[in-house]
Amino acid sequence: MSLLVTGSIGIDDVVTPAGEARGVFGGSAVYFSLAARLFTPVRLVGVVGEDFPDDFRRYLQDHGIDLTGLEVRKGSRTFRWSGRYAGENADAETTAIELNVLAEAGPKIPPAFADSQCVFLAATHPGLQSDLIRQLRSPRLIVADTRDLWINTQKPALLQTLAAVHGAIMNDFEARLFTGETNLVKAGRRILQHGPKFAVIKKGEHGSMLVTREDVVVLPAFPTTEVRDPTGAGDSFAGGMMGCLAARPQADLAAFKHALACGTIAASFTIEDFSTRRIEAVAPADIEARLSLYRRMLALD
pLDDT digits (tens, 9 = 90+) for 102-122: 999 999 999 999 999 999 999
**Cβ within 8 Å of residue 48, ≥6 positions away:** 9, 70, 71, 72, 73, 76, 78, 79, 101
Measured distance CA(80)–CA(8) in Å, rounded? 10
Residue 94 is part of a domain; what is its CATH number? 3.40.1190.20
Measured distance CA(27)–CA(69) in Å, rounded? 16
Number of domains forming the structure of the chain: 1
Which residue would you say has higher pLDDT here, 184 or 93? 184
Position 21 confidence tier, pLDDT thresholds 50, 70, 90: very high
Mean pLDDT, residues 37-64 taken together: 96
The SS3 assignment for 188 reads helix
H-helix segments, 80-228: 126-134, 148-153, 155-162, 172-179, 184-192
Range of the domain at 218: 3-298
**pTM for the predicted model, two decimal places:** 0.95
Residue 65's alpha-carbon distances to 44, 81, 145, 238, in angstroms, are: 7, 23, 21, 16
The SS3 assignment for 92 reads coil
Q: What confidence tens digit (pLDDT) does each residue in 171-189 have?
A: 999 999 999 999 999 999 9
pLDDT beyond 80 at 250: no
Q: What's the pLDDT at 89? A: 66
Position 248 confidence tier, pLDDT thresholds 50, 70, 90: confident
Rg of the chain over Cα atoms, rounded to whole angstroms, equals 18
Q: How high does pLDDT run on average in the chain? A: 95
